[in-house]
């Protein structure tokens, strides 16, 4: 039995769909079962549990031998995931598959609290005595959906990165497919996998979007200071601003490029393309 923490999020839904396609035996631990059923469907086993309450995690994982671990970004992400790992061990789980961040941002010393938290969680997991696998997805194509309002309102995409910087990208559905394969097969203990299906640039995204929408959507590089100021104006908390600013700096410096064959190796299909992502999500960008 596989326990899934984080199944209702964007990436988690991809994991759940892939586990369902495999006919895997799994259950999702969720805070609100009624709301989760609306998101995941009535045919997914749901149990009420909260990462803020380790006792509920331990109870929810009873009978599970594997755990997929993913929680949303928050100032307490580190403490909550480490507590969840400890609860999983008490429940009898033997293997944890953790969705982490990229090598460049998961560091012991970093301005990004989220990157530091991922590093601390990984250290705790590796010292737990449990079997472990760490997944390091590249830049999610779904991050571009955050630009939908800008595209509809201003007809352009603005980011504090060069238009031609190479970025290792992945569709969250491919992340889900890889995670499901690792959760349902053996031979992954003690391994970390960087997951990037394609390498593309921000201007590749706007070119694909322009083609799909039938109108020119330019990409404009803006100063990082201006992007940070805009985040502050929106009331974004400092810890999240630091995370986003660090991520954008890493992207701008070209430190998130590269790709490999893991998506095809583990999913059994070619990585989803940027053009396919745009076509599937074009409605989000249309007026």
Q: Per-residue pLDDT tens for 185-237?
A: 999 999 999 999 999 999 999 999 999 999 999 999 999 999 999 899 999 99
**How high is the pLDDT of residue 262?**
96
- Report d(CA 243, CA 257) in Å as an integer: 19
Cα four-point dihedral sign 156, 157, 159, 165: negative
**What percent of the chain stands above pLDDT 70?**
100
- Report d(CA 123, CA 127) in Å as an integer: 6
**How high is the pLDDT of residue 104?**
85
Of residues 71, 74, 47, the one with CA closest to residue 59: 47
**How high is the pLDDT of residue 115?**
92
**How high is the pLDDT of residue 202?**
97
Q: Is residue 91 pLDDT above 90, yes or no?
A: yes
Q: 109 burial class (0-12, 13-18, 19+ CB within 10 angstroms)?
A: exposed
**How high is the pLDDT of residue 281?**
97
Instruction: Give me the helix-helix angle, 77-91 and 113-126, nearest 10°.
Output: 20
Lowest mean pLDDT among 141-145, 176-180, 230-234: 230-234
Encoding tokens for residue 176? 């889900």
Encoding tokens for residue 61? 């994982």
**How high is the pLDDT of residue 237?**
94
**How high is the pLDDT of residue 102?**
86
Q: What is the DSSP string of 196-248?
A: -SEEE-HHHHHHHHHHHHTS---EEE--HHHHHHHHHHTT--HHHHHHHHHHH
Cα four-point dihedral sign 233, 236, 238, 241: negative
**How high is the pLDDT of residue 214?**
96
Farthest-apart Cα atoms in the chain, separation: 56
**How high is the pLDDT of residue 112?**
84
Backbone angles phi, psi at 45, to 5 degrees: -70, 125
What's the rounded mean pLDDT across residues 145-168? 95
What's the rounded mean pLDDT across residues 43-53? 96
Q: Is residue 22 pLDDT above 90, yes or no?
A: yes
What's the rounded mean pLDDT across residues 123-133? 98
Q: What is the residue-averaged pLDDT of the chain?
A: 95
**pTM for the full predicted model:** 0.94
**What percent of the chain stands above pLDDT 90?**
94
Structure confidence by residue, pLDDT tens digits, 248-261: 999 999 999 999 99
Structure confidence by residue, pLDDT tens digits, 95-121: 999 999 988 889 898 888 899 999 999
- Structure confidence at residue 163 as a pLDDT band (50, 70, 90): very high
Assigned CATH class of 2-137+170-195+258-267:
alpha beta
């Amino acid at each position: 039995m596989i326990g899934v923490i984080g199944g209702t999020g964007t990436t988690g839904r991809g994991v759940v769909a892939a586990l369902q396609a495999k006919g895997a035996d799994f259950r999702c631990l969720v805070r609100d079962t009624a709301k989760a059923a609306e998101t995941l469907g009535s045919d997914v086993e749901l149990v009420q549990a909260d990462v803020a309450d380790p006792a509920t995690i331990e109870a929810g994982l009873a009978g599970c031998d594997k755990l997929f671990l993913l929680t949303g970004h928050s100032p307490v992400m580190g403490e909550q995931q480490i507590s969840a790992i400890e609860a999983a061990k008490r429940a009898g789980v033997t293997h944890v598959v953790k969705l982490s961040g990229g090598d460049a941002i998961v560091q012991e010393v970093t301005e990004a609290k989220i990157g530091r938290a991922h590093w601390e969680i990984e250290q705790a997991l590796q010292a737990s005595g449990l079997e472990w696998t760490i997944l390091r997805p590249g830049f999610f194509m779904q991050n571009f959906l955050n630009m939908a309002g800008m595209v509809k309102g201003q007809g352009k995409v603005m980011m504090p990165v060069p238009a031609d910087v190479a970025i290792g990208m992945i569709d969250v559905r491919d992340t889900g497919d890889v995670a499901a394969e690792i959760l349902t097969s053996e031979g992954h203990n003690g391994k970390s996998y960087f997951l990037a299906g394609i390498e593309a640039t921000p201007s590749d995204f706007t070119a694909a979007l322009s083609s799909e929408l039938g109108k020119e959507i330019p990409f404009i590089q803006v100063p990082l200071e201006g992007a940070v100021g805009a985040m502050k104006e929106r009331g974004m908390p400092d810890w999240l601003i630091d995370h986003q600013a660090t991520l954008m700096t890493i992207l701008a410096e070209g430190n998130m490029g590269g790709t490999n064959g893991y998506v095809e190796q583990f999913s059994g299909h070619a990585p989803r393309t940027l053009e396919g992502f745009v076509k599937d999500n074009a409605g989000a960008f249309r007026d």
